[in-house]
Structure 1
Amino acid sequence: MIFKVFSNLDDSVRHRRKLRTDVAAAFPNLSAEQLTEFIPNKEELNVIKIYSHKGEAVTVYMNNRNPILFEIEKALYPTVYTLWVYPDLLPAFSTWPPVLQKLAGGADLMLPGVVVPSSGFPQVERGTLCAVTLLGNRAPVAVAVATMSTAEMLAAGMKGKGFAVLHTYTDHLWEYGDKSYPPTLAPLVTDPAEKESAEDEEEMEGKEPVISFSTDPLQHVDVGDLSLKERDSCTAPCENGIDTVLCGLKDTLLTAYLSCFSPAEQMDALFNQCFFHALKCKVKKSDLPLLTSTFLRSHMFSCCPAGQQLDIKKSSYKKFSKFLQCMQHQKILQVKELNKGVESIVEVDWKHPEYVEYYSKSEEREQAYHAPEIIPLYGVSTKMIPLFQESGHRKGSILSSSEVRNIIINYVKTNELVDETNKNFVKVNAILCDCLLDKSEQDEISNLKWDDLLSRCLERLQPLHQVTFFGQEPIVRKGNIEPINITIAQRSSNKKVTIIKNLELYGLDPQCVANVLQQKVQASATITPVPGTKDRVQVQIQGNQIHHLAKMLLEEYQLPRKYIQGLEKAPKLGRKK
Structure 2
Amino acid sequence: MFSRAFRVRSNTAIKGSDRRKLRADVAAAFPNLSAEQLSEFIPNKEELNVIKIYSHKGEAITVYMNNRNPILFEIEKALYPTVYTLWVYPDLLPAFTTWPPVLQKLAGGADLMLPGVVVPSSGFPQVERGTLCAVTLLGNRAPVAVAVATMATAEMLAAGMKGKGFAVLHTYLDHLWEYGDKSYPPTLAPLVTDSAEKESAEDEEEPEGNEPLSSFSTEPLQHVDVGGLSLKEGDSCAISMGKEEPHENRAAETAEDATTEVQQEAEDSRTPQEQMDALFNQCFFHALKCKVKKSDLPLLTSTFLRSHMFSCCPAGQQLDIKKSSYKKFSKFLQCMQQQQILHVKELSKGVESIVEVDWKHPDIRAFVVPEGFSSASAAQESKSEDREQAYHAPEIIPLYGVSAKMVPLFQESGHKKGSILSSSEVRNIIINYVKTNELVDETNKNFVKVNAVLCDCLLDKSEQDEISNLKWDDLLSRCLERLQPLHQVTFFGQEPVVRKGNIEPIDITVAQRSSNKKVKKELKLWRFSHIGLSPDSESSFSSSFFWDEGDMTC
Q: Report the TM-score range of the alignment, normalised by the length of the smaller protein.
A: 0.3 to 0.5
Normalising by structure 2, what TM-score? 0.37
Q: TM-score, normalised by structure 1?
A: 0.36
